[in-house]
Every structure is written in structure tokens, then in C-alpha cells.
Structure 1
Amino acid sequence: MNPIYAVGDIHGQKQMLDHALALIAADGGDDARIVFLGDYTDRGPDSRAVIETLIAGRDAGRNWVFLKGNHDRFFTRFVRQGLQHDPRVASGISWLNTRLGGTTTLASYGIQAEMRFIIDRKSGLEFLKSCEGPDGKTDIAGLQKLAQRAVPAAHLEFLEALPLWHETDDLLFVHAGIRPGLPIAAQDPEDLLWIRSPFLESSEDFGKLVVHGHTALEHPQHFGNRVDLDGGAGYHRPLFPAVFEGRDCWILTGHGRVALTP
């Protein structure tokens, strides 16, 4: 049975990504089939280098599959449209807030700025009031223009074109999860990018083992019907690559495979 590898949310952690790829190569060789579960950007220090690494792997013909994460869409929507909010963020904070990590993504492209925010009393949303960097002070429109000049079009096009799921005979890979009771073809794309409840609370047999990220844990966990591989790299915890043979799962470590069981 040919193994398939998976990497959870990277969140700009280039050194962690390099380490994960080295563990995979040691276990499965340079031609290992890898599915990346999305959220390549935000929070960590080097989103640009992460995207460059993934694009280089694609262009080299690596057997890699890339899924889109909600943070990746946040990033592209800001650069393309100047959007700093998503209705699924209940707190109403801006993508530029350090909690979401857009500032660190822009910094990886050379845009260093101190952000100042205001709260709109009517909507409750947080908006950028101004940002100040080495080249002076600007507003949201000016910051978007800086991003449009700094971010290569190839990076945006790569992220925008990514699929929302990938499946094998035994496994369904998706960034956030699925809505219970619906076939994959009927799923709302917003759920595939954002869902937590009711997916995380479901004990339903989804037919295939769902492999996802999005909901950060202290360590990847197997729940029987799903495997959450987001070990919290966006919060400076390790990035844990995994390998699957059929529905059997192992976490890769410097000491070899460690079984991940329900």
C-alpha cells in the first residue's frame, strides 16, 4: 500500500516546514506524495518563503497536493480587494490584527508597519485607522497599494487557484472539515474553509477518514472519524507531519513513526 503524507497548518513557519519535509523524505523518499492542508500564511515569521517553497515544489514536479485555507484567502482578498474582515470571524477583528497575523505576512514581503485600529460602534468591527512604517504614515488604501506592489502576482495566483478538498479511496483531506450529512460535492465552500461546530462534535461515520487542520490543538489527535493535524504551529508549537497507509496513521518524528490512534 502506497503511503500518503499530510502536513497541517504551516502559518508562515518556514523552518518548521523544512523540518517536516526532511522527516517525510527520510520516511518516504523525495518522491513522497504529500497533501498540504492549507493556512500557509499569517502569524509565523515567513509566509513569503513558505509560499515560495511550495511553488518551487510544484514547479519541480513534486507529487504534492495543496489545499486552500481560510488564512490564505484572507491574504489574497486583502491584497486584491482591500478586505480586512470575514463574516466567520465572530470577534470582528481585522486580518491585520496580530491575533489573525496579517501583519506578519505583510512583514515577510518587506512591509513593516505599526498598526493602529478603531472599533466601529455600529457594526462592532475593528478597522485599521492608520499604519506607520519607515516610509511614513498611510491608511488602509495606501497599505493595500504597498501590498499590491510587494506581493508577486504568482503568489496570489497560486493561492487563489487551490482546491478545497482532495480524496483517496480511504481518506478525505480538507482544511477545516465538512458539514455532517452532506456529500462532498454538496458542501458549502465556506464550511470547508471555516467549519468547527457541528463537525468537531460529530461522531458520525463520514465514510472516509477526514484529515483536516484549522482547529489548533496541543498535538495532532485521532478522533475515530477524523484526524486533526493542526498542532498549533501558528502559535509556535511544532509542525507535525503525518503518514497514512489506508486509514492507519502515524506521526513522523526524528525517531521514526509514532502511531496515532483514536
Structure 2
Amino acid sequence: MRTYAIGDIHGHLDKLEQAHRLIEEDRARVGDSSAPVVHLGDLVDRGPDSAGVVDYLIRGIEAGAPWIVLKGNHDRMFTGFMSDPDHQDPGLRADLHWTHPRLGGDATLASYGVPGAGERLLHDLHEEARARVPERHLHFLRALPSRALMGEVLFVHAGIRPGIPLEDQVEDDLLWIRRPFLDWTGDHGVLVVHGHTAVDAPEHHGNRVNLDSGAGYGRALTAAVFEERRAFILTPEGRIELAPAT
């Protein structure tokens, strides 16, 4: 079973388009036009064109592309704000709000033509955002799944809670978990492919693969392909196998 995957995008449409070009080049080399592409969430925030990223993914899926898009915690914070300007996601520190520059919600709103997030009353900001953000974007983001199981590989945004059956995992963990998952060295029963925790380059830990290579912080956006449990990073020069760290 072959599955492509793309890490956390964070509003970088140019990097997303390049990742898809690498996938199309790999498809041509192996003669496979139907393998799914899983996007690991965090479509929005920090980068300059979150609106363009969401629109690109919607149009691709509507055109019949075999794409799966997972929900990230930043995507959920965005839709939470759009429902209620005072919304506080349960995974977010109480002293932070989604519009804070540290989280990048201000950049997302600016991409929809709603500037000045740090200088305006939240309710005024929300009112303008409701007028400018297309409802079809919000419907798309709210409906995103939080996991995708492909054979022996589980794709999620953040990770899973160790020791909990896959069918009992809750969305808060799938979108937000860090240490209990990152520190776990045991077998999950599947290879877990995730993002959420930015690293300098993709990492393979045997039981999990982290594809968040920090696109939201100015680094590269990773595209990869999985064949059963084997992982390969896609580059302009072709595949590079990502082997488990020893």
C-alpha cells in the first residue's frame, strides 16, 4: 500500500504547491496516479496565505484529486474563533488567544482581508471576519477528519495517547498531544505518522514518524511517501529513505 503525506502547511501555499509537484514527479516515476495524499493538518496560521491554502485544497478535492486532509489544532482554533470570538480551545494555554502573533491567527485573518488583529476589539474583528471568510472554507475545515488509517500506517496531526485503543482516541489528543506520545517508545500496533511538533528535519523513531519540518517557522515543507511501513522523503532528486533512528 502506497500513501503520500505532507506535513504542517501553516499558510504557505507556495510550499504546498511544490510538495504536490514532488508527489506528481514520484507518481510518474512509479506509474501510480491513484495513491492517496494525506495532509497532516495545520493548514492555517503563521504563513502569508492561509486562505489560498484552504481554497487550493478544496478545489483539488472537488476536481477529484485523491487527497485526504486532516484537522490540526490550528484549524480547529480558527473555526472556534469564527463561531465565537471569545472561544478558547481546550488544548490552548488560558493566557493565549488564537489571534496572538505567537499562534499566527492574525496572519490567517489578514490573508482573508481582515488586518490589525492585535489592535482591534475581538468582537469587531470577528464581525468583519464573518463577512469576509467564505462559509465553504469554514464548512470544509469543520468537517475535516482527525485520523486516517492506511493499512499499518495511522496518519494523525499530533499523535495518539499510548495504551488507548485507536477507536477510543479523542480529538483533543489527536490534535494537541505532545509529551506522553513523543516519549513513548513502545509499539502502537501501527506506525503513527504525525506533525504538530516542529523539528529541523523529518524524524523516524521506529514507532512514529514526524513530518513537521517547520514550514510555519520558515523551514521546508516535507512531502513523503509510505510503502507499507517504509518511509521515503521526496526531493527534487528523487526519494531518500527515512530509516528509523538507531
> Aligned equivalents of 2:97 and 2:218: distance in 1?
21
Q: Please say if 1:85 is aligned against 2:88.
A: yes
Tell me the equivalent position of 1:62. Answer: 65
Unaligned runs of 5+ in 2: none
1:133-179 deviations in whole A, cap 9, x for unaligned? xxxxxx11111010100100000000000111000211001010000
1:89-168 matches, cutoff 5 A: 89-90=92-93, 92-113=95-116, 115-116=118-119, 131=120, 139-168=121-150
> Aligned equivalents of 2:218 and 2:62: distance in 1?
29
Offset, 1:87: 3.4
What TM-score do you get using the length of structure 1 for normalisation? 0.89
- Residue 99 of structure 2 aligns with an amino acid whose one-letter code is L
Tell me the equivalent position of 2:16. Answer: 17
Paired residues of 2:113 and 2:132 also in contact (CA < 8 A): yes
> Aligned equivalents of 1:91 and 1:239: distance in 2?
30
Paired residues of 1:84 and 1:96 also in contact (CA < 8 A): no
Paired residues of 2:86 and 2:122 also in contact (CA < 8 A): no
> Aligned equivalents of 2:144 and 2:151: distance in 1?
21
Identity among equivalent pairs (%):
50
Paired residues of 2:194 and 2:208 also in contact (CA < 8 A): yes
Offset, 1:37: 0.6
- Residue 238 of structure 1 aligns with an amino acid whose one-letter code is A
- Residue 63 of structure 2 aligns with an amino acid whose one-letter code is A
Paired residues of 2:16 and 2:221 also in contact (CA < 8 A): yes
1:97–1:152 distance in 2 versus 1, CA, 3 Å: same
Paired residues of 1:3 and 1:245 also in contact (CA < 8 A): yes
- Give the total of aligned pairs: 240
Tell me the equivalent position of 2:182. Answer: 200
Task: Give the structure with the higher percent helix.
Answer: 2
CA RMSD in angstroms, aligned pairs only: 1.2
- Residue 255 of structure 1 aligns with an amino acid whose one-letter code is E
Q: Secondary structure at the match of 2:60?
A: helix
Paired residues of 1:24 and 1:32 also in contact (CA < 8 A): no
Tell me the equivalent position of 1:233. Answer: 215
What TM-score do you get using the length of structure 2 for normalisation? 0.94
Q: Please say if 1:5 is aligned against 2:22.
A: no
Paired residues of 1:69 and 1:175 also in contact (CA < 8 A): yes
- Residue 65 of structure 2 aligns with an amino acid whose one-letter code is R
Q: Which stretch shifts more, 80-89 or 106-115? A: 80-89
Tell me the equivalent position of 2:26. Answer: 27
Offset, 1:204: 1.2
Paired residues of 2:99 and 2:117 also in contact (CA < 8 A): no
Q: Secondary structure at the match of 1:199?
A: helix
Offset, 1:31: 4.0
Q: Secondary structure at the match of 2:5?
A: strand
Paired residues of 1:85 and 1:92 also in contact (CA < 8 A): no
> Aligned equivalents of 2:113 and 2:158: distance in 1?
30
Bigger Rg, which one: 1
1:101-124 deviations in whole A, cap 9, x for unaligned? 0000000001111514xxxxxxxx
Paired residues of 1:36 and 1:66 also in contact (CA < 8 A): yes
Q: Secondary structure at the match of 1:198?
A: helix
